A = this chain, B = another copy of it.
Amino acid sequence: MIKKAYLLITLVLLQFSCKENDSTGIYVQNSTELHTAIANAIPGDVIIMANGEWTDVEIKFVGYGNDQQPITLKAETPGEVILTGNSNLRLGGEHLVVDGLFFTKGYSTTSSVITFAINQDTVANHSRISHCAIVDFNKPQRNQTDLWVLFNGRYNELDHCYIAGKSNRGPTVRVDLAGNQSIKNHHKITNNYFGPRPPKGGPSAETIQLGNSFTSMVPSYTLVANNFFDHCNGEVEVISSKSNFNEFRSNVFYKSEGSLVTRHGNYCIIDGNYFIGDVNSEQIGGVRLIGTGHWVTNNYFYNLKGKTFRSPLAVMNGIPKSPLNRYLQVTDVVVAYNTWVNCISPWQFGVGSNIDQKDILPASEIRSERPIRTIVANNLVYNTQGDEQPIIAHDALDGINFKSNLINNQGNSFNHEKAFRQENFALTQQEDYLFVPNSSLPNITPFNGFEFELIAYDLFGNSRASANQIGAIANTENTNPNIMDRSNYGPGWFDLVKINDSSSNVFNVETTVELETALLKAKNGDTIVLTAERYELNSSLKIDKKIWIKGALDRDKKISMHYKGAPNTPLFQMNPKGQLTLSNVLLEGNQKGFAFASLTDHMSSLYNLTVTDCEIINFAYVLKAYKNSFSEFISFRSTLIKNCANGLELSAETDDRGDYNAENIHIENCRFENVSKNVVDYYRGGYDESTVGGNLKIANSTFENCGGNEENGILLNTYGIINVNLTGNTFTNNKVKLVARLWGAKNNLFSNNHIENSGEMVVEQNLPLTLMY
């Protein structure tokens, strides 16, 4: 007995001696000290990483804390421990906490930056990443795949983090469900700020993905709550739920070009979320449903203009006996107590119906099974201006049970009107983007469906038991959700203003050397004004920031830039994050160089290009986009393009995996003269209906004597591009067979074009495409 007591005392002493720095933690200053501290950590330990830059640090955080005494790894000062270069973090064990780290200026060489596993056998459980940030931590090229946070194990959390700027392939956050140790995981992704994710131009750019089709039968129980999604534009799915029993609650989707999609798996809850759109974007979606048993309740949709796949509520058609990775029929879904304000055609059912394509697609691709056993009840739709089609039925609606839905469509009638009761009432603005009912709301008894008593609270968390009404908001008392107060999200220490900081210096440059020097010195957002008449350049100008280069306006004729660099090099070399606005300049080449081009590789992020009031003459290419380069926005306005061998060449993504080189191309009031081929060559290959880009608009422009060397015989080649609009253009004496071949099954439009001696403009309903999956 004495022996035992002695042993106990020794153990207690040992414990004390290990925790040498108990009150403040174990302070570590380099990787060796860090890993020693981790190796020796016992429950309750706090390891503190010294402030400063930690480069190429791969942290393997293995430890076994307990419920009362986790093992913590934290920054000396939150946000001031900066992991750069090839750094990453893996966790394995139980009850681990990581707090305050900042990953930026680098990328992980592994497949994920933060991983809740060391390897297949050692996962982390009950562990937490908190108050951290990952910003612009991109692999060098967008086709190189990784994840930024990979969940394995069970009961892990990602909370109060700021994560933004992922531009390479791969979801930002992913939950892995393979293996019994990762099922029924009850992970929590809460109170994070998901900052802007630019469009990737093709699939695999979700902000959150929960599982994949192969594990779509897994009970996951992941909670995604109280997050802010700010311009998460990576692809058509902001969140892709691919497992069962996940819950999405009280998130704000702010101007994010995509939807919350129950892509695979069943029985998810989407409750109390805000979907905020923008009148200027047709890309911002709401909720898209596939599968069985989802409940969509208490959500608020505002100003959404997305169509079909991106519509505010898209209830899809399924494939009969669908393969595991395609589209299960929608059954047993409940859409109740939601509110749509100023959305265009908010309710779309049978989305993706493609019965008319049964002759050109395999049977396993035909979405002919419309939603069944689906209840749509107690919802509210309000339109300031009458909507012509509040409901679009892409297939029959006989499987939808509409009950006690209310609309104010300003009295305008519409199809399927019996799905609603139309009344005249008003809403009151509560705060930015948020309109709530007032006493003018008609008193309608809500439909009491099976288990509707489980919808116990409204959007604001007020009980529906005492005071209930149609729509997301039952009660407007105590209602200051402050959805746009960004301090509710993310780590707190992260300065959102700083991130968006743009100084605005102006450099006036008189010579080529001054121009080159100014470009090096300029900060993001600066302006360079060309004040001389002529600049001769023998090498490319590297555009790797936001910069505006413009010719001074007070000259008689346009200021000119003459490019004499090596053949096949560009005057303006578009680098990752390069955003060039060029105006009032004449660019002249020697028929060998290019006016604009991306890097040939290492395009780790996108570039943008706006050209206004310019002239572009004598180049081999106006714009050359290399493989893996991507631009979100390319705009040519009021510009003359003349005597060039090639025009805008954006067709380097030839793998037919759904990728493409630019999201939006706008050409307006331009004039193309004697551009021999590839006047516009814009390509997307691979059949994948859920990807909805790219977008091309050519308006009020003139094409004359172009396409003389065009091998494919098409002047404006847009093969595979989903949204094309050619309007008000004039085509004269272009030696081509076709001006354009449009894709009738997609959103390819043309109007008011004048064509003379230039071949035809044809529409093909269905284009043969490679199946992607």
Residues of A that sit less than 8 Å from B by CB: 178-181, 183, 213-215, 217-219, 244, 265-267, 291-293, 321-326, 328-329, 331-332, 334, 364, 373, 450-451, 773
Contact A451 B293 (CB under 8 A): no
Report Cα–Cα, A328/B265, bound state, in Å.
Answer: 14
Q: Of B214, B217, B450, which is within 8 A of A266 by CB?
A: B217
Which of A293, A332, A450 has the most C-beta atoms of chain B within 10 angstroms of its own C-beta? A332
Distance (whole angstroms) from the CB of A602 to the closest CB of chain B: 35
User: Which B residues lie within 8 Å of A332 (CB)?
Assistant: 178-180, 183
Contact A267 B219 (CB under 8 A): yes
Contact A180 B451 (CB under 8 A): yes
Distance (whole angstroms) from the CB of A19 to the closest CB of chain B: 31
User: Which B residues lie within 8 Å of A219 (CB)?
Assistant: 219, 267
Known A-B contacts A179-B332, A181-B450, A293-B180; A321 and B213 likewise in contact (beta carbons under 8 Å)? yes
Report Cα–Cα, A463/B344, bound state, in Å.
Answer: 63
Report Cα–Cα, A450/B152, bound state, in Å.
Answer: 14
Contact A321 B321 (CB under 8 A): no
Report Cα–Cα, A213/B329, bound state, in Å.
Answer: 12
User: Which B residues lie within 8 Å of A178 (CB)?
Assistant: 331-332, 373
Which of A180, A322, A324, A773 has the most C-beta atoms of chain B within 10 angstroms of its own C-beta? A180
A331 to chain B: closest residue by CB: B178
Report Cα–Cα, A667/B70, bound state, in Å.
Answer: 75
Report Cα–Cα, A85/B308, bound state, in Å.
Answer: 55
Report Cα–Cα, A219/B221, bound state, in Å.
Answer: 13
User: Which B residues lie within 8 Å of A218 (CB)?
Assistant: 266, 292-293
User: Which B residues lie within 8 Å of A291 (CB)?
Assistant: 217
Report Cα–Cα, A181/B180, bound state, in Å.
Answer: 29
Distance (whole angstroms) from the CB of A218 to the closest CB of chain B: 7
Distance (whole angstroms) from the CB of A209 to the closest CB of chain B: 18
User: Which B residues lie within 8 Å of A773 (CB)?
Assistant: 321
Given contacts A179-B332, A219-B219, 15 further A-B contacts (CB under 8 A): A178-B332, A178-B373, A180-B293, A213-B321, A215-B292, A217-B217, A217-B267, A217-B291, A217-B292, A217-B293, A218-B292, A321-B325, A322-B323, A322-B324, A364-B364
A265 to chain B: closest residue by CB: B217
User: Which B residues lie within 8 Å of A181 (CB)?
Assistant: 450
User: Which B residues lie within 8 Å of A451 (CB)?
Assistant: 180
Known A-B contacts A217-B266, A217-B291; A180 and B321 likewise in contact (beta carbons under 8 Å)? no
A-B contact pairs, 23 of them (CB 8 A): A178-B332, A178-B373, A180-B293, A180-B332, A180-B334, A180-B373, A181-B450, A183-B332, A213-B321, A214-B329, A215-B292, A217-B217, A217-B265, A217-B266, A217-B291, A217-B293, A219-B219, A321-B324, A321-B325, A321-B326, A321-B773, A323-B324, A323-B364
Contact A328 B324 (CB under 8 A): yes
User: Which B residues lie within 8 Å of A364 (CB)?
Assistant: 323, 364
Report Cα–Cα, A641/B446, bound state, in Å.
Answer: 78
A322 to chain B: closest residue by CB: B324
Q: Which 10 A-B pairs have the closest CB atoms?
A: A321-B324, A321-B323, A217-B266, A321-B325, A180-B332, A323-B323, A217-B292, A181-B450, A180-B450, A322-B324
A372 to chain B: closest residue by CB: B178
Report Cα–Cα, A266/B218, bound state, in Å.
Answer: 8
Distance (whole angstroms) from the CB of A569 to the closest CB of chain B: 46
Q: Of B293, B322, B326, which is within 8 A of A183 by CB?
A: B293
User: Which B residues lie within 8 Å of A214 (CB)?
Assistant: 329
A325 to chain B: closest residue by CB: B321
User: Which B residues lie within 8 Å of A215 (CB)?
Assistant: 292
Distance (whole angstroms) from the CB of A537 to the closest CB of chain B: 53
User: Which B residues lie within 8 Å of A265 (CB)?
Assistant: 217
Report Cα–Cα, A179/B178, bound state, in Å.
Answer: 29
User: Which B residues lie within 8 Å of A180 (CB)?
Assistant: 293, 332, 334, 373, 450-451
Q: Of B321, B325, B328, which is within 8 A of A217 by CB?
A: B328
User: Which B residues lie within 8 Å of A325 (CB)?
Assistant: 321
A182 to chain B: closest residue by CB: B332
A267 to chain B: closest residue by CB: B219
Report Cα–Cα, A323/B322, bound state, in Å.
Answer: 5
User: Which B residues lie within 8 Å of A373 (CB)?
Assistant: 178-180
Report Cα–Cα, A267/B213, bound state, in Å.
Answer: 17
Report Cα–Cα, A274/B551, bound state, in Å.
Answer: 88
Distance (whole angstroms) from the CB of A69 to the closest CB of chain B: 23
Distance (whole angstroms) from the CB of A120 to the closest CB of chain B: 9
Distance (whole angstroms) from the CB of A318 to the closest CB of chain B: 9
User: Which B residues lie within 8 Å of A331 (CB)?
Assistant: 178
Report Cα–Cα, A180/B266, bound state, in Å.
Answer: 12
Distance (whole angstroms) from the CB of A421 to the closest CB of chain B: 23
User: Which B residues lie within 8 Å of A328 (CB)?
Assistant: 217, 324
Distance (whole angstroms) from the CB of A516 to the closest CB of chain B: 55
User: Which B residues lie within 8 Å of A334 (CB)?
Assistant: 180
Report Cα–Cα, A267/B291, bound state, in Å.
Answer: 19
Report Cα–Cα, A355/B504, bound state, in Å.
Answer: 66
Distance (whole angstroms) from the CB of A371 to the closest CB of chain B: 14
Report Cα–Cα, A323/B325, bound state, in Å.
Answer: 9
A449 to chain B: closest residue by CB: B180
Report Cα–Cα, A217/B213, bound state, in Å.
Answer: 13
Distance (whole angstroms) from the CB of A220 to the closest CB of chain B: 12
Report Cα–Cα, A267/B214, bound state, in Å.
Answer: 15
User: Which B residues lie within 8 Å of A213 (CB)?
Assistant: 321
A183 to chain B: closest residue by CB: B293
Distance (whole angstroms) from the CB of A718 to the closest CB of chain B: 31
Report Cα–Cα, A360/B364, bound state, in Å.
Answer: 19
Which of A217, A244, A331 has the most C-beta atoms of chain B within 10 angstroms of its own C-beta? A217
Distance (whole angstroms) from the CB of A243 to the closest CB of chain B: 11
Distance (whole angstroms) from the CB of A585 to the closest CB of chain B: 53
A318 to chain B: closest residue by CB: B324
A324 to chain B: closest residue by CB: B321
A121 to chain B: closest residue by CB: B450
A373 to chain B: closest residue by CB: B179
Report Cα–Cα, A265/B216, bound state, in Å.
Answer: 11
Distance (whole angstroms) from the CB of A227 to the closest CB of chain B: 27
A217 to chain B: closest residue by CB: B266
A334 to chain B: closest residue by CB: B180
Report Cα–Cα, A580/B610, bound state, in Å.
Answer: 92
Distance (whole angstroms) from the CB of A768 to the closest CB of chain B: 20
Report Cα–Cα, A179/B374, bound state, in Å.
Answer: 9
Report Cα–Cα, A329/B334, bound state, in Å.
Answer: 30
A245 to chain B: closest residue by CB: B219
User: Which B residues lie within 8 Å of A217 (CB)?
Assistant: 217, 244, 265-267, 291-293, 328
Distance (whole angstroms) from the CB of A378 to the closest CB of chain B: 16
A329 to chain B: closest residue by CB: B214
Report Cα–Cα, A217/B215, bound state, in Å.
Answer: 12
